[in-house]
Structures are given as C-alpha cells and as structure tokens.
Amino acid sequence: MASRFQPGAPFICSARIHNVNFPLPHLLTTEWLVPFNQEYEGERNAAGERHGHGRARLPNGDTYEGEYANGLRNGRGTYRFKNGARYIGEFSENKKHGQGIFMYPDGSKYEGEWVEDQRHGNGVYSYMNGDIYTGEWSSHYRHGQGTYLYAETGSKYVGGWVNGQQEGAAELIHLNHRYQGKFVNGNPIGSGKYVFDIGCEQHGEYTHVDQEKGEEEEEEEAVAITPKWKAKNITTLTLWTPAVEEPPPPPPPEEPPAAAEEEVPAPSVAEEPTEVGEPEAAEPTEDLSPSKEGEEEEEGSKEDQVDQVNTSLEEKEEESKESEEADTSKEE
C-alpha cells in the first residue's frame, strides 16, 4: 500500500489490488492522526488527570472550557453544544450544579439554580414567544410559588405550581380586573372572585364541564375540560389572603436527558388568561352596581303604577256620580 501525507492536507490512501489502483475515501484528515490525549489542552495533576483550567473537545463535537478537578468538570466553565446551545455556570462532577445560564437553540433562556443537570431551586425562564416565568423549580419542573407573565396579553399568573402545572391558591391578573381563587391542572376550580378596578368584586364558583365528544373522539383518553363561572353576589372590595399550600413532592427524577436536547416547556399555558379570565370576566361586568338609567326606569315604573291606581279611582268616582244622576232623574 502506498500513502501520501502532508501536514494540514487531507490524508489520502491508495491501494493496489490485482494491478488496479483506486483511491480510498479521503474522509480522514490530520485530526484523525492527533493522539487522543491532545483533545485536551490545560493543566493536570500529578496523576495525569485534568485538573485546573483547561479546554477540551468531546467526541460528539461539543466543547468545554473551564475548571477541572481530578479529571471531571468542576467549578465554573462554558459548555458549548454542537446544536448551538450553550451553558455558562457552575459544574460539579461533570454535571450542571449551582448557578448557571442555559441558552437554548430556539432563543429561550434559563438563568438560575441547577442540581445535578436539572433546573432546581429559584430561576427565571424566558421563552421564545416572550413569556417569562420567575419562581421555584424542582427536578426540571415549575414547582412551588412562581409568577408567569404572558407577553401577548400582559396578563400575569401569581401563585402555586405543581409539576409544571398551575395548581393551588393563585391570582390571575389582567389589565382592569383580576381573578382570585384556586387552580387545579391549570384551570380554576371552586369558589373564587373577580375583583374590578372600579371598586367592586363579584363572588362565585367555577365548575368544570366536560366537552361533548363525537363518535370518532370517544376512543381518545384525554377529555377536554371547560371551566364555567357561576356568579353569586356582588360586594365592595375585601382583603384577599391566599392560603399557601405546601406542594406535594415531585415524582422521582428520570434519567436526565442529553444536555443538548433539554426540554423546553410548551408555551400553550399562555392561552389560559384568554380562556379563563377575560371571557368569563365579561359576564359579571354587565351585572355590576345598577346604573342611573336603571334607577330612573325603576322610579318611572313606580310612578306609572301610581298613575294607574289614581286613574282607576277617578274612573270609579265618575261611574258612581253617573249612577247617582241616573237615579235622581228617575225619581223626578
């Protein structure tokens, strides 16, 4: 076999079999010839392990630059994924652990606490559609107390979360009104109230109504639930003090996904204020404190009733007078 090699040029081999020359695929480059230990550039300890500051290129194409300890990523560093994602922050035994910022390929970003490669503790997640969640996390899920701001409507959910879903006592704040009550699986349920900026509030109750399904949809397991508001009474403003319930512990963590394919929470929850708050709030606005026109109509109806009574009395008096005059004429 004959071979030709020049530094910095593709490595090309040719072979002779039965007096026929053919080139082998020139997919091999000088990188293939670099010894394995040269994938890392940096400090080492006495045992030859990566220790201190260094740079490395991983076999899958990812790169890391930062601190090492006894052969593992430990301390602060920057990990760049080949798909464009990037993590800048603290590591412990090759895992994201401590404070860090993760920038995803779609433009979303998480900045906060990490525990063993998962979002855990307090953090801020900025979604690609502009929504922002600020609050507590557990095992990669929104869990505990947090605030979700909807960029499209400006509405804001402030309250409890369980395994990524809105759950517990919460307040859904809109432009000129807000809803205060309890949520389960992202939907309001039970007693609650709408508070309006004009200085009154409407008390009522949310019930869940299952949507009717066609014959083809009966086989589907998921059932669409529509919250329905039932108003009870209107009062002046009162102080609302939500009872903060301790959320149940999250499920045991599964095998952590590859860092380059971290799950981005679906922004479908951003539609909740328009489905839950705004349409339902349009109903109580019509039943607020009576308007002046309503009072005038009531007064006018009362006056009409009085006029009708007076008219009937006058008619009776006239009839009695006519009967008396008829009797008098007969006597004459």
DSSP codes joined into one string, 133-178: EEEEEETTEEEEEEEEE-TTT--EEEEEEETTEEEEEEEEE-SSEE
pLDDT tens digits along 245-276: 666 666 665 554 444 333 433 333 333 333 33
Q: What is the pLDDT of residue 279?
A: 34
Contact 8, 30 (CB under 8 A): yes
Amino acid symbol at 89: G
* CA atoms of 136 and 159, how far apart (whole Å): 11
For 89-126, the pLDDT digits (tens) are 999 999 999 999 999 999 999 999 999 999 999 999 99
Residue 45 or residue 325, greater confidence? 45
What does the pLDDT average to over 183-197?
94
Rounded distance, CA 231 to CA 219, Å? Answer: 35
| Residue 236: per-residue pLDDT | 86
- Find tokens 């095998």 and name the residue: 255
pLDDT tens string 9-48: 444 444 443 444 444 343 333 333 333 444 999 999 999 9
Phi-psi region of 283 (alpha: psi -120 to 50; beta: other; left: phi over 0): alpha
281 pLDDT above the threshold of 60: no
pLDDT exceeds cutoff 70 at 138 = yes
CB 297 within 8 A of CB 290: no
